[in-house]
Amino acid sequence: MINSTYYFGFLLSLLIQNTDCENLFISSQERIIYLQNYIEKKPQIPQLNNIEIASVVLPEYVLYIEHRGKLEIGYIKILESLNLERFQTISFGPFQMDINFIFDTLINSHINGFNEYKPQSKKDIYENLDNYSLLDSQWKILSLFFRNNIHFLESEHGLENISNIYNSGQIVNKSKYFKKITCEKKSYYQWCLTFKSQFVND
């Protein structure tokens, strides 16, 4: 059996972006334009802008690569087979969501009347990992997350608050800097704004 600790160490090494910032911006531009074209075809949610919604996940999105996504799902399955609850906290997919986040978002959106589907347990999410790792599925979850937390946008630092909740689960981010990008020391929200500036204005 594969040692889960070694597997995690290998996976973690893929998460850290060690390239210089200039190359990172160049490599991320194509992905950001692709995402912009994608979200422009999606319905706009009342009071929300799809660009604003997408900006919250950009630091994770620009780092995501498909073969790492397969490793993430493989690691989740290893942890689940070992009956380790940590499998619920491993992020996967283009927006790097975990099972706990997806489950909570779907439950809250059902309570708030935004979504008819209500998962019976986190096992429902686990058994459909391939589906929930798709861009379409993660965009839907992200949109529901925003609708659940739309009241935060009424505050002065609304988008920053939501980005912190998305990244760390708290309004005040537990980490001063986003550790997956090392070419420059910036908070998660600062990286959101940096990559958001790469969206093409009409």
- The tens digit of pLDDT for each residue in 75-114 reads 999 999 999 999 999 999 999 999 999 999 999 999 989 8
In 3D space, the residue among 42, 122, 45 whose CA is nearest the CA of residue 80 turns out to be 122
Residue in the block written with tokens 């009424």? 154
Listed as ranges, residues in the chain with pLDDT below 70 are 1-18, 202
pLDDT at 82: 93
The reported pLDDT for the residue numbered 1 is 46
Residues 6+ apart with CB under 8 A from 193: 55
pLDDT at 174: 80
CB 92 within 8 A of CB 98: yes
For residues 37 and 137, give the distance between their C-alpha atoms in angstroms, rounded to a whole number: 17
Residues in the chain: 202
Q: Can you tell me whether residue 181 is helix, strand or coil? A: strand
Reduce the DSSP state of residue 17 to 3 states and report it: strand
The values of phi and psi at residue 155, to 5°, are: -85, 165
C-alpha dihedral (165, 168, 171, 173), degrees to nearest 10? -140
Tokens representing 134? 């798709």
Report the alpha-carbon angle 51-107-133, nearest 5: 55
114 touches 148 (CB < 8 A): yes
Tokens of 2: 């594969």
Q: What residue type is assigned to position 65 of the chain?
A: I
- Please enumerate, as own/partner, the contacts of 23-31 that have beta carbons within 8 Å and a separation of 24 or more: 24/62, 24/181, 24/183, 25/198, 27/62, 28/62, 28/195, 28/198, 29/198, 31/61, 31/62
